[in-house]
Amino acid sequence: MAREFSRTQRIADQMQKDLAQLIQFEVKDPRMGMVTISHVKVAKDLGYADVYITVLPIGEQTQEDAVAVSLEVLRSAAGFLRHELAKKIKLRVMPQLRFHFDASIERGRHLHSLIEKAARELREKEKE
């Protein structure tokens, strides 16, 4: 019987948990918005890990500014985060971290608003 989760998936899940804690407690850059790690995808050879994040802007920041600044901060802290992960997760090779903005939540909001708009227009048409 095949395993339910692959080794790389288990590593990705552990990296997601540990990165979330490290970003919350260790990365102390005031420019960074509230970052949530939505998904981590690890290459089969453990050469790299793609980390997908969402960002909630703080203060007067726009969403685009918050995303750009947060990605810049995380990319500059990637070496530190990788080093700290290596202390927590015992692997022969710790993957290089590549940070990306996860636009799927924004796409979901946009699609939801389009569906709501279409449903509202349909209800208004039926009333006529």
pLDDT in tens, 73-82: 999 999 999 9
Q: How far apart are CA 24 and CA 101, in angstroms?
A: 17
Which two three-digit tokens encode residue 80? 């530190």
Q: How far apart are CA 104 and CA 24, in angstroms?
A: 22
| CATH for the stretch 7-103 | 3.30.300.20
CA distances from 90 to 14, 82, 83, 87, 103 (A): 11, 12, 11, 7, 31
Domain definitions of the chain by residue range: 7-103
Rg (CA), the chain: 19
Residue 125 host element (H or E): helix 104-127
pLDDT tens track for 11-68? 999 999 999 999 999 988 888 888 999 999 999 999 999 999 999 888 888 888 989 9
